[in-house]
Structure 1
Amino acid sequence: MTPVELSRTVLCAVRRAVDVGELRVTVPERAVVTRPRPGGCGDYATNIALQLARPAGQPAPRVAQVLKAHLLGLDGIDDVSVTGPGFLNISLRDADADVAFVRLVDGILRAGVEYGFVPEGGGASGGSDGSVGAVGAVVQLRCFLEVRAVVVADALRRLLRSQGASVGIRCESPVPAAWEQVLGVRVDSSGGASSDGVEIRPVPAPADPLPLGRDAARWALLLPAAHDHPRITEDHLVQRESNPLFRVRYAHARTRALSRNAADLGFSAEPGITEVPRDLVTLLVDHPRVLARAAAHRAPDSLARHLVSVADAVLPFLPSVLPRGEEKPLAAHRARLALAEAAGAVLAGGLSLLGIDAPDHL
């Protein structure tokens, strides 16, 4: 962004503040932007707040805070700080970071729920010891006939396969038909003692999880780390924010609803530059590494916690996606929708690896 473009952006923030009644001033024809003085910060600084303070009838620091809030919502602005008697110090968004962000969102949308997956034989397969990297080998999982162990093994098979491994599960005894029907688990072989492969032995479930149904039961068994005791309670069925599973599935359903609403308004997602939550972008960037680590360390719980973090980061962002009132859909709305859809794809893909449904309506 050039100084002339930034000057126009600053004036746009002034107009926004005037339009919503936060400032009662005549919008000036020009806003002076310069490099920060010694001791300043950011890429550019402007004294527009000091210029408007007297006609606005407000202290310059107060005017600067008003303008800061409006500047942070504009494209190209990374950060704004108020210094001294009311100077606005503005940091611009890195152009390289913008390109990387657009590529990230575009890549997720192209991959869909398989974002972070590795083609079979193309990467993270493993040896009989459970190590990742022995390309072409088979990872053999073995477990005792205990419901949590079988569910964890089933989730690990999904995770390892997503990372290019070929996986088999052996159980000491045949799995009850009810476990297969309700929990969606299956094993490849059973019967007889065996010391081959990786033993899956989490802390056993303290109660029968089947009454919770497939999704809540699997979540209850997979969310805690293997050495932690799972809670088999009806809390996992509660449809409110206190339930992490609800937040994850609700966040996904909201992204799908936004896509439907946008279609009704005549626009669709298009990756582009827009103001985004940094924590959400960081989580999306990290998703492939989360899958790889969860597979390598045989820890589906780390994926479950990652999905909760993604949901908690995207939910506050979603109200800004669609146009409001009589506002027309702009490039920024298409870019925000693309980011929301990308987060939804990560949530849906992660839930599928845990064997949990990601409904479009909730």
Structure 2
Amino acid sequence: MTPEQLRDLVRTAVAAVVERGTLAVAVPDDVLVERPKNPEHGDYATNVALRLAKPAGMPPRAVADLLAEELRAQPGVARVDVAGPGFLNVTLAQGALGQIAVRAVTAGEGYGRTDTLAGQRLNLEFVSANPTGPVTLGSTRWAAVGDALARLLESSGAEVSREYYVNDAGAQIERFALSLQAVALGRPVPGDGYQGDYVGEVAARVVADEPGLLERPEDEQVARFAERGVAAMVADIRSTLEDFGVRYDTFFSERTLHESGALEKAVATLREQGHVFEADGAVWLRTTVFGDDKDRVLVKADGEPTYFAADCAYYLDKRTRGFDRVVIMLGADHSGYVGRYKALVAAAGDDPGTHLEILIGQLVNLVRDGEPVRMSKRRGDFVLLTDLVDAVGTDAARYALARASVDQTIDIDADLWSRRTNDNPVFYVHYAHARISSVLRNAADLGLALGDPGDVDAGLLTHERENDLLRAIGEFPRVVTSAAELRAPHRVARYLEELAGTYHRFYDACRVLPRGDEEATPLTTARLWLCAATAVVLRNGLGVLGVSAPERM
């Protein structure tokens, strides 16, 4: 019996007591079922009686007694104890717990997937670094976490569109074009321009693709360097991210908002809502009425639209494309952006709590020997995504970035994450999967197979370490669901490390394969199913993080 099945059983027990008239409450849509910290308290515990006591007008223990009596009569339940103020501690019948392994193996890639977010259509925008340079370490964190979050949300039933917003309009693009032109002509790069070897590389590509460019008038040169230079950088960014395992559904050009009239349409829409006004020759959005610290300019006195106007148009474009919720991932330096964006959503007539979600992430550093690494060959004052991958590998980089909460600044120790030892978290999880793969290969060499699910005697899995592992496997769907709802991929990583440790302890305590002339027994088969179930969960969990599951190490 899995935790999900037990939750349904508890809800059924509540419904039965309500139907008999001994409890006057609404049957909850969901109940909390979790593993108790002390295994002596049973396989699972629930606080449902505490939740229902107040609406029922009864003491929590009285409610718990009613539900315990109902649960004790259910198949698969061996014992139900009322503890403390009204907790229910449930011990499953022999064999009911073992069925978790059977269910995990038979579900395969589908184990852990739920429909809790079904019907939600989300636009997830992440990274969106300016197309004026390569992908840096700071953006790499969002690449790993954003892609993992998208996978999590999809595993919970949501429809997710991954989007990269290309800031290819504005002053930074002109500075980039002037930098490319200067390098191509052998001039010094402007003081506010872009430095680094990559500028020369991009400039050379533009000149090679467009012979005779440097003989044209300078304003034409700048325009072509802008268009071709941005296209080259976007191609490099896309390729770098794809090599990192991150693929987008949409690369959205800011420039198209200016060229299509979307900005003017957005201003008109906001004006219709009654929140646009004019002052000092400029056009403003009255965001202060929605909690912003000041009103925001949409169109400057010289007629130029602001970045904020583009933000308004971009948000409205996403909503027009049918997304129920716009999720945006931003770095710590954009925390001041949240208030104004919520205000524009409200000014557009939407509910910021429903239609918008902004996640703020903290900084990340690459360190070696306790010192920050400054190793980029293309520019000396920042570290690139490719530098991180070169230092620790793609799997370790993605895992390291995803295993910490985004609201924490993290240091990635290049020495630790490149080490092939158990103190390297990703190696520890990888080794567990490889170890299981080896067991299953050895079993096949001995002519042993899992066989039909109906033939396995899961009730033989009674050892303490077996039960620990079964309960851990059973937690996986809940971990995925909660990680998706909380936007916290790091919960999956930490769970995988705990699962790996639980498997290693099981393996050390419980012999799986027969030795010498020993005959295989039904317990052998049951333990092979348990190993296979653990491998399924490790693969699925690593897959959520975009990390491979090696079969050999």
Q: Same fold (TM over 0.5)?
A: yes
**Letter of the structure 2 residue corresponding to residue 205 of structure 1:** V
2:395 pairs, out of 196, 212, 215, with 215
Which aligned pairs between 1:129-140 and structure 2 lie closer than 5 A?
135-140=118-123
Contact 2:393–2:418 under 8 Å retained in 1 = no
Mapped partners of 1:179, 1:188: distance in 2:
16
CA change 1:244–1:271 in 2 (3 A) is farther
State the Cα deviation string for residues 201-247 of structure 1 (Å, max 9, x = none): 32233243232332111011101111122333232121111111111
Q: Which moved more, 1:198-207 or 1:214-223?
A: 198-207
Question: Given the alignment of the two structures, is residue 124 of structure 1 paired with residue 185 of structure 2, yes or no?
Answer: no
Question: Given the alignment of the two structures, is residue 105 of structure 1 paired with residue 101 of structure 2, yes or no?
Answer: yes
2:436 pairs, out of 242, 255, 262, with 255
1:172 aligned residue: 165
1:42 aligned residue: none
Mapped partners of 2:462, 2:96: distance in 1:
14
Question: Given the alignment of the two structures, is residue 344 of structure 1 paired with residue 405 of structure 2, yes or no?
Answer: no
Q: CA deviation at 1:313?
A: 0.3
Q: CA deviation at 1:114?
A: 2.4
State the Cα deviation string for residues 23-50 of structure 1 (Å, max 9, x = none): xxxxxxxxxxxxxxxxxxxxxxxxxxxx
Secondary structure of the 2:123 match is strand
**Letter of the structure 2 residue corresponding to residue 124 of structure 1:** T
1:149 pairs, out of 142, 153, 159, with 142
Which aligned pairs between 1:41-60 and structure 2 lie closer than 5 A?
none
1:304 pairs, out of 477, 493, 499, with 493
State the Cα deviation string for residues 87-144 of structure 1 (Å, max 9, x = none): xxxxxxx7x53232232111101011321113xxxx232xxxxxxxxx4231121234
Mapped partners of 2:410, 2:152: distance in 1:
20
Question: Given the alignment of the two structures, is residue 294 of structure 1 paired with residue 500 of structure 2, yes or no?
Answer: no
State the Cα deviation string for residues 237-276 of structure 1 (Å, max 9, x = none): 2111111111111101111111111112222234522234
Contact 1:255–1:340 under 8 Å retained in 2 = yes
Mapped partners of 1:360, 1:115: distance in 2:
19
Mapped partners of 1:238, 1:275: distance in 2:
36
2:259 aligned residue: none
Contact 1:182–1:213 under 8 Å retained in 2 = no
**Letter of the structure 1 residue corresponding to residue 148 of structure 2:** A
Secondary structure of the 1:148 match is helix
Secondary structure of the 1:117 match is coil
Secondary structure of the 1:316 match is helix
Secondary structure of the 1:225 match is coil
Identical columns (%): 33
**Letter of the structure 2 residue corresponding to residue 108 of structure 1:** A
Which aligned pairs between 1:207-246 and structure 2 lie closer than 5 A?
207-208=383-384, 209-211=388-390, 212-232=392-412, 233-246=414-427
Contact 2:101–2:470 under 8 Å retained in 1 = no
Contact 1:152–1:200 under 8 Å retained in 2 = no
Question: Given the alignment of the two structures, is residue 203 of structure 1 paired with residue 382 of structure 2, yes or no?
Answer: no
Secondary structure of the 2:448 match is coil
Secondary structure of the 1:352 match is helix
2:461 pairs, out of 253, 259, 274, with 274
Task: Identify unmatched segments of 5+ residues in structure 2.
Answer: 1-90, 130-138, 167-233, 255-310, 319-325, 331-360, 366-382, 451-455
Which aligned pairs between 1:172-191 and structure 2 lie closer than 5 A?
172-173=165-166, 174=234, 176-189=237-250, 190-191=252-253
More helix by share: 2
CA change 1:230–1:113 in 2 (3 A) is farther
Mapped partners of 2:457, 2:543: distance in 1:
25
Secondary structure of the 1:110 match is helix
**Letter of the structure 1 residue corresponding to residue 449 of structure 2:** S
Secondary structure of the 1:327 match is coil
Mapped partners of 1:161, 1:114: distance in 2:
12
CA change 1:253–1:334 in 2 (3 A) is same
Name segments (4+ residues, structure 1) moved above 4 Å.
none
CA change 1:101–1:341 in 2 (3 A) is same
Task: State TM-score, norm by structure 2.
Answer: 0.44
Task: State TM-score, norm by structure 1.
Answer: 0.66
2:523 aligned residue: 332
Secondary structure of the 1:176 match is helix
Contact 1:322–1:329 under 8 Å retained in 2 = yes
The structure whose Rg is larger is: 2
**Letter of the structure 2 residue corresponding to residue 184 of structure 1:** G
Q: Which moved more, 1:178-187 or 1:295-304?
A: 178-187
Mapped partners of 1:254, 1:155: distance in 2:
25
1:61 aligned residue: none
How many corresponding residue pairs? Answer: 257
Mapped partners of 1:113, 1:241: distance in 2:
26
Q: CA deviation at 1:148?
A: 1.1
Task: Identify unmatched segments of 5+ residues in structure 1.
Answer: 1-93, 126-134
1:4 aligned residue: none
1:57 aligned residue: none
Give the alignment's Cα RMSD to 1 decimal.
2.3
CA change 1:102–1:186 in 2 (3 A) is same
